[in-house]
Amino acid sequence: MDAAANTYHSASSGNGTCTTTDSFLHLQFPLSSAVQHQSTSCATSVHPVVLFSIIDHYLRRTEAAQRVIGILLGVRSDDGLEIEVRNSFPLPVTEKSTAANGDAEDASDAAGEDVVVDMDYLSQMYNLHQTVNAKEVVVGWYATTGSNSTSDITEKSVYLQEFFANETVPHQPIHLVVDTTSMTSPDKSSSSPTMGLRAYTSSPLGIPDQSINTAGRMFLQVPCELKNYDSEKAGLDIISIAKNHASQSSGLLSDMDNLERSIVQVRQMLDTVGDYVDAVIAGRVKPNRAIGRYLMDAVSSIPKVGPTEFERLFNNHLQDLLMVIYLANLTKSQLAIAERLQNLL
């Protein structure tokens, strides 16, 4: 064995320290690079208010901007494998396009310098959010798809991911991509009826480049789902009514209208479930065990009541509600009479 390999050798650079002995190789990375040892497998849930904030940011963008970028705030589980995105705010980011006459190598080297982030704005907005809710921390960043983009991940996404990794140490940041092509595509028939929502995490790939002090990154798509509370669900139901109106607005429903709408929705869901079960029994659709378990849990949670007994219970409950309404109106009338008598005296 070479004598140089048997001796203790240490080499330092801007990306860390490499220490070699005759029995082991120890790599000591700086704190900003510690995130690369974290697991990239995680599940992400996004609240509706985050989507509305991103869409509002996209609709208010400048004419020159093809996409918008912002910060995601939320909470992580203790093991870091579950992320709940609860809030967000826009971030002024300037993305300069490289010179058209430059070759591909020059454009790649300059890509990191063509992304400018307003750090003062980021610090001020984050401090303001911390005063309102100290539990919400930076968990990642979001971006919308560009009008001419064919991929969720661009070359500049690597540099932005590396930048936001310093804000989420020791965890990997989540990159949330909102597909807005359905909002800008002139051909509505070819657009997706639903807005795409995808989440990515990354892991370092390759040897860091000394000139730009960063390494390549491999982006991996992770599970992402919408999560809402009951109060948010009620608000979303009211907002969904406005999409069918020409004025794009909707007021609050009365109790009876809301009850009628809920009954109609329940009947529609029952019809959908019934059609699916019939299709599975007939062999037209391949059975799904997960759906079967969900249906079994839903059916078992409802007590088995005959039609006659159910009608009797429903009528009794309806009579109780009518009695409450009658007593409320009677109390209202009595208070009005008492107020008039007080004015006469």
Q: In this structure, are strands 9-13 and 16-20 parallel, antiparallel, or unpaired?
A: antiparallel
pLDDT in tens, 29-56: 444 444 444 445 688 999 988 998 999 9
- Amino acid sitting at position 131: T
The average pLDDT across 209-225 equals 72
- For 140, half-sphere exposure in the C-beta direction (CA atoms, 13 angstrom radius) is 28
In angstroms, rounded to a whole number, what is the distance separating the alpha carbons of residues 219 and 152? 10
Residue 18 has pLDDT above 60, yes or no: no
Residue 11 has pLDDT above 50, yes or no: no
Q: What percent of the chain has pLDDT over 70?
A: 74
Residue 246 has pLDDT above 60, yes or no: yes
In angstroms, rounded to a whole number, what is the distance separating the alpha carbons of residues 104 and 98? 10
pLDDT in tens, 111-122: 445 778 888 999
Helices (H), 166-301: 181-184, 230-242, 255-282, 289-300
pLDDT attached to residue 267: 93
Other C-beta atoms within 10 Å of 93: how many?
A: 21
- If pLDDT is split at 50, 70 and 90, which confidence band does 182 have? low
pLDDT attached to residue 195: 67
pLDDT in tens, 288-311: 999 999 999 988 888 888 889 889
Helices (H), the chain: 3-6, 48-59, 104-110, 119-132, 155-165, 181-184, 230-242, 255-282, 289-300, 307-344
pLDDT attached to residue 155: 78
